[in-house]
Amino acid sequence: MKKANFSFIDLFAGIGGFHLGLKKIGGRCVYVSEWDKYSATTYGTWYSNTAVDSRDIRKIDINRDIPKHDLLAGGFPCQPFSLAGVSKKNSMGLKHGFDDLKQGNLFVQICKIIKVHQPKVVFLENVKNLVSHDHGRTWMTIQSKLNNLDYEVYWKIIDASSWVPQHRERIYIVAFRRKSFTKKEMKNFKFPKVRKQNPILRDVLDHKPIKKYMLTDNLWKYLVAYAEKHKSLGNGFGFTLANPKGQSRTLSARYYKDGSEILIKQKGWRNPRRISPSEAARLMGFDDSWGKKLGNGFPQVVSDTQAYRQFGNAVCPHVVQAIGSEIVRVLLARKARISR
């Protein structure tokens, strides 16, 4: 795999899924923005040579605080557009999408940064529901804004299950600045092909699970009753006992509440257990090899609750690296043309 030396900024950075994936293909992070103090703590520990700007990104001075960069990366907040987020806001009579006063207009801030710094490449991630939200109007608006900023937009919904043992469909958006690339260079960009050999859950599970992650009797009883109730109503709501020889459901930010989406049956244990934060890390791809405990590069420096939230909100670094490798091909083609 060829590498290219390029600079990037990491917006709505979480715990650095973009950082890890882009660093492996030659990227150099020059600015990080993450306003959640717990995620900023994790990020600052894992990537100690990169300062984290934890201010509201809408209040920073774009010209002064953000340096020039080749690539803008960002997993902008998905709650205003996700199925669960929209459903919750509707039930509470709250606005969602771009009308979400707290998070919905953060894409607009990305556009302001793009307009000022004009990076060669924009690389974004969000939930797949972004495409269908508000009958497709949200996605049309995003594409229109990027086009108006003179960027050629490519997008694809990719399931991370080719790289990690969970089904995790997300939309990935890659946009090239038209003035930086030729039409041929941009058209040569292709999203990575889905691999046939998918990893399995057993590969990332702890060899000696800790019993504190076993569900309490009361919680297990509640989850069983909840599932039976919804089964009688003809829908599929309920817990999932994951198959270690297969793949899990999507790890969500709410996993800390009951762990119901991914439960592991354990021999000799009364009730199934949650996956541990270390297993959640490996499930997301924050480890260099399958089946091993986290190394010194990824220590847990927050509570279990915050760790589950962080991994559930994270971008899968393996997918970032795979897409980034295709971006690098375009960057290298441009570099070769300019150097001739």
At 107-149, the pLDDT tens digits run 999 999 999 999 999 999 999 989 998 888 889 999 999 999 9
Q: Taking the domain 201-313, which CATH number applies?
A: 3.90.120.10
Residues with Cβ < 8 Å from 133, sequence gap 6 or more? Answer: 81, 86, 96, 97, 139
pTM over 0.85: yes
Judged by phi (left if over 0) then psi (alpha if -120 to 50, else beta), residue 194 lies in: beta
pLDDT tier for residue 261 given thresholds of 50, 70 and 90: very high
Is residue 78 part of the annotated active site? The answer reads yes
CB distance 319 to 172 below 8 Å:
yes
Q: Could you tell me which of 73, 79, 59, 56 has the C-alpha nearest to residue 13?
A: 73
Q: Tell me how far apart the alpha carbons of residues 28 and 19 are, in angstroms, rounded to a whole number.
A: 8
Q: Is the pLDDT of residue 11 over 90?
A: yes
- Compute the CA torsion angle 26, 32, 33, 38 (nearest 10 deg): 100
At 266-286, the pLDDT tens digits run 999 999 999 999 999 999 999
**What does pLDDT average to over the chain?**
89
Helix, strand, or coil here: 156?
A: strand
At 41-54, the pLDDT tens digits run 999 999 988 899 99
CB distance 277 to 305 below 8 Å:
no
pLDDT tier for residue 234 given thresholds of 50, 70 and 90: confident
Q: Taking the domain 6-195+315-339, which CATH number applies?
A: 3.40.50.150
Tokens for 23, please give them: 């660093």
Beta bridge partners of 31: 9
Q: Is the pLDDT of residue 290 over 80?
A: no
Same fold, 6-195+315-339 and 201-313: no
At 298-332, the pLDDT tens digits run 889 999 999 999 999 999 999 999 999 999 999 99
Catalytic residue among 29, 78, 111, 316: 78
| Domain layout of the chain by residue ranges | 6-195+315-339, 201-313
What pLDDT does 100 receive?
A: 45
Q: Is the pLDDT of residue 154 over 90?
A: yes
